[in-house]
Amino acid sequence: MNTSDSLTTREVAARAKVAAADLALATRATKDAALLDIADALVAAESQITEANALDLAAARVNGTSAALIDRLTITGERLGVIADAVRDVAELPDPIGEVIRGYTLPNGLRVLQRRVPMGVIGMIYEARPNVTVDAGVLALKSGNAALLRGSSSAYHTNQALVSVMRSALAHTPLPVDSIQLVPGTTHASVTELLTARGLVDLIIPRGGASLIKSVIEQATVPVIETGVGNCHVYVDAAADLDKAANILLNAKTSRPSVCNAAETVLIHTDVAEQFLKAALPLLAEAGVTLHGDDEILRLARGSDVPVVAANDADWEQEYYSLDIAARIVPNIDAAIAHISRWSTGHTEAIVSDSATAISAFTDEVDSAVIMVNASTRFTDGAEFGFGAEIGISTQKLHARGPMGLAELTSTKYVVTGDGHVRS
């Protein structure tokens, strides 16, 4: 039950507009029941989905795709189960639609309510990671929005299968099947159509690398929320518990290096640099991490089992997607904050410290969407924040910043009630 590739992007968007009007009126019970049906359908269709994924993986290998991107592309039975569980988690979350943000009565007796309403039609443009197809579809549905999904051509077969399964599940519910659609085609022309479908599409969310996000921002006439580029930092303070710091760094870098909340740079206070590296280097060596270090890192790591190469400015701005990390010794916390201010993408930064003064300075002065205190950067995630699945991590400063869950997919309207009131 895929959207037909014979339709144009604007025709698909027009169908989404109709579906969105119906979705806006759906009850929580109806939406939650549909989500549970989708979760069950995904698990039941494991062979269909993994067979489609195998086609995309085979093509990726032929095209010389990196191991990190192949990891993002891969759907296994286990990962599909995790995706389905995330859908069930979303069904259990409160419905944001209709929530009163604020309400008050004016001196003239007018009653003012501001309440949450759906955005309408949300277009998602994303690379690899077919789990985003499900996350975006179900979060949009729960928040009363129709989803137009445009994944990369590298995941086309997988995305077709996932959307087909979700639409088949919706066909047995009161909700419109066109609540979730795959944007037809694999060429850039279909992306351009989506980005310029003003009046049919209410919001575009790009999720991927810097070049994708830059391209979307420059071409779109539809409003855009920027997401995801993650040059994340871990700062090890002079007052850090060094064993905790080593474990946090290991987790932040190695638990899944191909994702945007993985650490890409470690900054180490000079007073604890030698001691910290004694604790951290064996862990990093065992995990296969390569350090891209400044001169002092090169000296202190000499003779260890960790490969070390000299760092340059390209390393400080790099999102590696691999078991590589840039490393620098800093004289104080101010230097660490200055480094982050220059090179960060505004995603997630972590401080490891037992000093309340240092923690306060770091959390107050570092201007990123998420600040972790004595915790791994890997916790920047909608599910970890209790949002269920996430649609992306916003690095901008408009209404949505950080992990985007249901509330971030809503707008508001004012309802003003009077009793024959007229303005003088």
The pLDDT assigned to 128 comes to 76
Q: Band of the pLDDT at 103, cuts 50, 70, 90?
A: very high
* Whole-number average pLDDT of the chain: 94
pLDDT at 228 exceeding the cut of 90: no
The pLDDT assigned to 4 comes to 54
Q: Band of the pLDDT at 208, cuts 50, 70, 90?
A: confident
Whole-model pTM? 0.87
239/86: higher pLDDT: 239
Percent of the chain with pLDDT over 70: 98
The pLDDT assigned to 387 comes to 82
How many Å from the N-terminal Cα to the C-terminal Cα in the chain? 57
Kindly report each contact of residues 401-406 with a partner whose C-beta sits within 8 Å and lies 24 or more positions away, as own/partner. 401/369, 402/369, 402/370, 403/370, 404/205, 404/225, 404/227, 405/93, 405/139, 406/90, 406/93, 406/95, 406/96, 406/139, 406/142, 406/143
**Mean pLDDT on 332-359:** 98
> pLDDT tens for residues 169-196?
999 999 999 999 999 988 889 999 999 9
Look at residue 181 and give its three-state secondary structure: strand
The pLDDT assigned to 200 comes to 98
**Mean pLDDT on 407-417:** 96
List the one residue out of 199, 155, 186 whose CA is nearest residue 55. 155
Q: Band of the pLDDT at 1, cuts 50, 70, 90?
A: low
> pLDDT tens for residues 276-302?
999 999 999 999 999 999 999 999 999
Domains located in the chain, CATH noted: 9-226+396-417 (3.40.605.10), 232-379 (3.40.309.10)
CA angle 217, 121, 36 (to 5 degrees): 120
DSSP 183: P
pLDDT at 309 exceeding the cut of 90: yes
The pLDDT assigned to 258 comes to 83
